[in-house]
Amino acid sequence: MMADESALLLSLVEEFVSGLQDSKAKDTATAVKDGQFTVLQLVEALGLSLTSSQPHTRARGVQLLSEVLHECYGDLTEREVEVLISFYENRLKDHYVITPPVLQGLRALTKCNALPPGSAVSMLRSLFQDVHVQSLMLTERGCVYNMLINLMDTREAELKGLGADFVFGFVQSMDGERDPRNLLLAFQIAKNIIHRGYDLGKFTEELFEVTSCYFPIDFTPPPNDPHGITRDQLILMLRAVLTGTPKFAEFLLPLIIEKLDSDVQSAKQDSLQTLAACVSQYEHKDLAEFLEGLWTSLRREVFQTSSEKIESAGLAALTALTSCLSRSVLNSDSDDSLNTFLDLVLKDCKHHLCEPDLKLVWPSAKLLQAACSASNRASHIITAAVMPTLIEQYNNRAECSHRRTLLEVVQRFILSVKSSQSSESEESVLSAFRPSLCSMVFSALSESNANLQITATSALTSLSQQTGLLLDSDIELAVDHLTGLLLKEDDNSVSAAVVECAGALAQLHPTAFITKLIPELKKQMFSEPMEQDREASEQQSHHAMRQRCLSALAAVSTQPSVVQESTPVLLEVLSSAHTGSVSFSVEEVVLACCSLQRIAEQVKDTEETGRCFHDVIIPRLLSLALQAALQGDGSPGRRSPLVEEAVLSAMVRVISTSCSRLQPTMAGQTTSKAVSLFLDGDVSFLPDNSFPSNIQLLKKQQGDSWSQSQMVCLLMGCVCSLPRSVEVPQIDRLLSELEEMSYTCSHPLSYTSAAKCFAGLVNKRPQGDSLDSLIQRTMKRICSELDSTSSSVRYQAFTLMIWVAKALLLRYHPLFTALTDKLFSLLDDADLGPMAADSFSLLMSDSADILNRGCHADTRIMYRQRFFSENSAKLVQGFNAAPQEKKPNYLKALSNIVNKLPKQVQVTELPALLSLLLEALSCPDQGVQLSTLSCLEPVLIDPPPALIQQLEALVSRLLALTSSPAMDVRIVSLRCIHALSRFPVHEILPFRARVLRALARPLDDKKRMVRSEAVQARGEWFLIGSPGGR
């Protein structure tokens, strides 16, 4: 070392130690790192301070060294480390004020890679011997724990060499620790000891005691806790310690039994979860002597529970316990502890199953089911014991409610049965009971009690899902029952359950549905209502039967083989309706389309199903629609239901679902055919081809007839739902004809569909000049029509604008802003203003048929937030500048936008907009009121501070709205007032009397739905500030 460096070192030491300049530690460390001098030279330089008679000077000296080591422990050599360790070990025996910096230094050394062999052990021995950890300050205790953690990570073998002394040393160190931060570290060490296989020696109980004394964790972090330690972190870490080894079983299990007796709900829950966690590590012998005690506690928690959380934790623990016992290997000479335990459970629970009208039937059943679900063996034992009883009870009971309870219990047993995973061929646990279970379910299906029938359908579903349980003959019988119910049962809830059950069964057992159910449903659906003068109620029930059949056809069609049979039936409904050979109502035709769409949605995407939809169903739909359109809207006599807007919209959904999700290549072919049909009148691919040759579907029709022009919606269903990889042929021509059509038609469905189709295509066009110039051309024409107040096509231009705007907004196209500005300016338009305000809702919500993710639209995430953040200020300015009579348009636009924002965004944006929203609540327009209320309602659940500051204004306006002439406004305002009752009590208490008085009036509202909201809201407000309330 050069002289000046030596001088520098001495001066640094001097300034730090005597001058108390803390920053010099950093300077010293930098100098060491730069190689100006070594750590050992620093030790030498410290010589004087370290031998000072003043303990504080010695401490200061050590502190400098330790701080330097913290910066450069990585560069130390083994030799240096060795010297330093022995230096520090000596210092541990010094005055207590020196201990903190010594520990800091040792901690730095534990991070060294160059730690010489044996030094870890030596350090720890000195530490355990010379330091009483719990007499240290919080930070120093943390320092000790960190040393241990560091050494455990790098010197595991050495520490294990210490044997049980290490555990003992640690136990002594943490005994009495109270700080949550340090506890988390100490638990980490204990967890390492257990999980990494350290020798606990004779200190098992000590280690358990020193950690389990914190169980269950009772810690609430202080408000604004900067350390961010949560109760859950501590719970999970401690649980990992306590449940980590079967060696703790004999201590932990009695402790759990004791803590379960606590009145504190969280303690119970923690105990139950800890129990579930520990038994997964245990063997049956660890549990043996505690089984009775554990069972008594679990039973009590489930029988007398007041909280679902505790109940489900209890049941989960029972399952874990049973599954632990199930793992025991059976010796012929030893007791089977699983049997012994389940005997206990059965003894206490089984008899309650015979009392289906009493409260304990449910908790008993849940306990048994929890045990039953633990293992195949447990399932065998439990079902063998309870099933005969349940079946006998069911057969002996006459009352429907009792039978229903029993059947529901049985159903849950079926669900809880664990099929053995080892061998598929093994008989189902329930095989022995198959005949009785089937007859039970079938008899329940034939009852006249709706609840019983519904329960029976779930039981049937569960039975059918037990692999290999039901025979083919059982399935056929089940299908007969279901068919009969579909045809005759009028109760909506029962038929919905039957449809669902049929769907579940058909998934697993398609054959019986193909051979029996579909032909029978078809036969009945196509039967005509008998005479014309039949009673209306019978007409009604015939219609209801068809409805059920149609939705059942959809539900059962998940397997391709079933789809092959069911879709022709549905298509036949459409063609018969069109020709009038069988009379189907418009509603029934729509339902048939809905069923087709549902099938397209749920069926597996295979080539077979792709062909079915692209080669058969879509051409058939287009052909039928075209036939109907050509018959025209003006033709005398009967009009085909297939020209109705409701039917066409339903067809659009079938086509669009098929094109969006089934076989893209085939969808491409379908598109080509559809485009050439619409552009060129090419009908060659349509079945029943007897069409004229001069079809021009995209041209203005003679006499403004709309039956052909409206067919453009079917084109939209096809071309707008394709995956973006699929090319649309003749795109430019198509776009230009669609644009033209959207101006020339006066029929709203026709021009709107043309505009939507145009927009749907624009959304998927690749970025670039051609797209930009297309948009600019389009906008120019739109603006010129809109700007001319005498134009006859302003509505058409507006419609096109709003859909194009939506298409561009979704993909963040830069040209979108020009359209937004136009839209904002229209809020002041005398004619279009209200429409412009409403259109913000269209912009912000998901559209059902195009421009959604299902249709593969180009949609960026968070486009709504982006739109909002770019435009809210404009809206506020516009509002302030607008004349009084135009202000409602702005408020409506605002509430339409805010309404659709995700809640987190609403909450953050609310402060800025609150005064405007409150203004909107006072706006006389009921639409604005309603939309503002519905956007406030979710925000009120977790109110931002800005809202609380405006409570007075909010309460006044909401109370005023409870006497609105519009029922919906009264209802939502009451809901909002109800939500206010959950605000912090001290904020709302001043309003209590006023709210209660104001809510007396809606209690006598003429509408029941309003009264019911008022009753709930007032009930909650009464509880505010009242004992037992909140």
Partner 1 sequence: MSGGTRLENANPVIFQRSGERLLTAADEDEDVQDPIDDREIFDILSINDPEHPLSLEELNVVEQIRVKVNDAESSVGIEFTPTIPHCSMATLIGLSIKVKLLRSLPDRFKIDVHITPGTHASEEAVNKQLADKERVAAALENSSLLEVVNQCLTSRSI
Partner 2 sequence: MKEALTLLHRLNGHPDSRCWFVSWSPTGTLLASCGGDKAVRIWGQEGDSWVCKSVLEDGHQRTVRKVAWSPCGNYLASASFDATTCIWKKKNDGFESLTVLEGHENEVKCVAWAPSGNLLATCSRDKSVWVWEVDEEDDYECVTVVNSHTQDVKHVVWHPTQELLASASYDNNICIYKEDDDDWECRATLQGHTSTVWSLAFDATGQRLASCSDDRTVKIWKEYPSESGNDLSWKCVCTLSGYHGRTVYDIVWCRLTGALATACGDDAVRVFKEDETADPDQPVFSLAAQATKAHNQDVNCVAWNPKEAGLLASCSDDGDIAIWRFEEED
Residue type, 184: L
Binding status of residue 176 toward partner 1 by CB under 8 A: no
Work out what residue 993 binds among partner 1, partner 2, none; the CB cut-off runs from 5 to 8 Å by kind. partner 2
Question: What distance in Å separates the CA atoms of residue 762 and residue 256, rounded to the nearest whole number?
Answer: 66
The Cα–Cα gap between 940 and 980 comes to 7
Are the beta carbons of 136 and 144 closer than 8 angstroms?
Answer: yes
The reply on whether position 398 binds partner 1 by CB under 8 A is: no
Query: What is the Cα 607 distance to its own chain's centre?
Result: 33
Measured CA to CA, the distance from residue 697 to residue 677 in angstroms comes to: 8
Q: Is 993 in the site for partner 2 (CB under 8 A)?
A: yes
Does the CA dihedral 20-22-27-30 come out positive or negative?
positive
Q: Work out whether 424 is an interface residue with partner 1 (CB under 8 A).
A: no
How far apart, in whole angstroms, are the C-alpha atoms of residue 895 and residue 725? 37
Least distance from C-beta 216 to partner 2, angstroms? 41
Q: At what angle do helices 450-464 and 434-445 cross, to 10 degrees?
A: 150
Does the footprint of partner 1 cover residue 611 (CB under 8 A)?
A: no
Specify the residue, 306 or 332, whose C-beta has the smaller distance to partner 1. Answer: 306
Q: Are 319 and 374 in contact (CB under 8 A)?
A: yes
Decide if residue 989 touches partner 2 (CB under 8 A): no
Which of residues 115 and 1024 has its CB atom nearest to partner 1 in the complex? 1024
Indicate which of partner 1, partner 2, none lies near residue 1008 (CB less than 5 to 8 Å, by partner kind): partner 1
Which of 51, 395, 401, 825 contacts partner 1 by CB under 8 A?
A: 401
Question: How many residues line the site for partner 1 (CB under 8 A)?
Answer: 38
With CB cut-offs between 5 and 8 Å by kind, which of partner 2, partner 1, none does residue 1 bind? none
Answer for which of 240, 905, 966, 985 binds partner 1 (CB under 8 A) is 966
Give the integer Cα–Cα distance in Å for 737 and 392: 74
Exactly one of 432, 496, 996, 1023 binds partner 2 (CB under 8 A); that residue is 996
Nearer to partner 2, 41 or 956 (CB): 956
Are 330 and 336 in contact, with CB atoms under 8 Å apart?
Answer: yes
As a whole number of angstroms, the distance between CA 821 and CA 826 comes to 9
Q: What distance, in Å, lies between the first and last C-alpha atoms of the chain?
A: 75
Taking the complex as a whole, the smallest distance from the CB of residue 261 to partner 1 amounts, in Å, to: 9
Q: How many Å apart are CA 198 and CA 166, to the nearest integer? A: 9
Cα–Cα dist 617/887, whole Å = 51
Rounded to a whole number of angstroms, the minimum distance from the CB of residue 1013 to partner 1 is 12
Which C-beta is closer to partner 1: that of 990 or that of 1029? 1029
| CA separation for the pair 850, 954 (Å, rounded) | 38
Instruction: Report the C-alpha gap between 200 and 247 in whole angstroms.
Output: 9
- Measured from the CB atom, is 795 or 1022 closer to partner 2? 1022
CB 49 within 8 A of CB 57: yes
Question: 948 or 993: whose CB is closer to partner 2?
Answer: 993
Binding track over 301-340 against partner 2, x by CB under 8 A: ----------------------------------------
Residue number with CB closer to partner 2 (993 or 1003):
993
Q: Which residue number, 40 or 996, has a Cβ lying nearer to partner 2?
A: 996
Ranges within 971-1030 binding partner 1 (CB under 8 A): 1000, 1003-1004, 1006-1009, 1011-1012, 1015-1016, 1018-1020, 1022-1023, 1026-1029
Q: CB under 5 to 8 A by kind: which of partner 2, partner 1, none does 997 bind?
A: partner 2
Of residues 56 and 994, the one with the C-beta less far from partner 2: 994
Return the one option of partner 2, partner 1, none that residue 581 interacts with (CB less than 5 to 8 A, by type): none
The residue (of 362 and 991) whose beta carbon lies closer to partner 2 is 991
323-362: contacts with partner 1 (CB under 8 A): 352, 355, 357-360
The tokens for 868 are 């909002």
576 interacts with partner 1 by CB under 8 A: no
Site for partner 1 in 250-279 (CB under 8 A): 263
d(CA 504, CA 515): 17
Question: What six digits make up the tokens of 115?
Answer: 């730690």
Tokens of 798: 């507006």
Stretch that binds partner 2, among 52-60, 140-148, 716-724, 989-997 (CB under 8 A): 989-997
User: Which 8-state DSSP code applies to residue 217?
Assistant: P
Question: Which amino acid is present at 371?
Answer: A
- Residues 442-461, interacting with partner 2 (CB under 8 A): none
Q: Which of partner 1, partner 2, none is residue 1026 near (CB under 5 to 8 Å by kind)? A: partner 1
Please tell me the distance from the alpha carbon of residue 549 to that of residue 568, in angstroms, as a whole number.
14
Residues in 442-481 at the binding interface with partner 1, rule: CB under 8 A? 451
For partner 2 (CB under 8 A), the number of binding residues is 3
Distant-in-sequence, close-in-space partners of 430: CB < 8 Å, separation ≥ 6: 383, 387, 414, 417, 437, 463, 466, 469
Query: Least distance from C-beta 1026 to partner 2, angstroms?
Result: 14
Nearer to partner 1, 360 or 876 (CB): 360
Instruction: For the CB of residue 994, give the shortest distance to partner 2 in the complex, in Å.
Output: 9
Please name the helix (run of DSSP H) or strand (run of DSSP E) that holds residue 596, with its range, or none: helix 586-602
905 binds, among partner 2, partner 1, none (CB under 5 to 8 A by kind): none
- Binding to partner 2 (CB under 8 A) within 522-541 occurs at none
Candidate segments 116-124, 580-588, 990-998, 1001-1009, binder of partner 2 by CB under 8 A = 990-998
Tell me which residues in 616-655 interact with partner 2 (CB under 8 A): none
Residue recorded with tokens 């912000």: 844
3-class SS at 25?
Answer: helix
Angle, CA 255 vertex, CA 252 and CA 256 arms, to 5°: 85
CB-count burial class (<10 Å; 0-12, 13-18, 19+) for 751: buried
Tokens coding 267: 């303690």
| Number of Cα atoms under 13 Å in the Cβ half of residue 635 | 13
Nearer to partner 2, 385 or 996 (CB): 996
- In terms of Cα–Cα distance, which of 575, 508, 492 is closest to 541? 492
DSSP 615: I
Structure tokens at 23: 């920053």
Scan residues 281-310 and list those touching partner 1 (CB under 8 A).
Answer: 303-308
The label of the residue with tokens 């053995």 reads 420
Q: Select the residue interacting with partner 2 from 300, 997, 1001, 1007 (CB under 8 A).
A: 997
Task: Give backbone dihedrals phi and psi of 876, rounded to 5 degrees, phi first.
Answer: -65, -45
> What is the helix (H) or strand (E) element at residue 514, kind and residue range?
none
Please report, as ranges, the residues that interact with partner 1 according to CB under 8 A. 263, 303-308, 352, 355, 357-360, 401, 404, 451, 966-967, 1000, 1003-1004, 1006-1009, 1011-1012, 1015-1016, 1018-1020, 1022-1023, 1026-1029
Binding footprint of partner 2 on the chain (CB under 8 A) = 993, 996-997
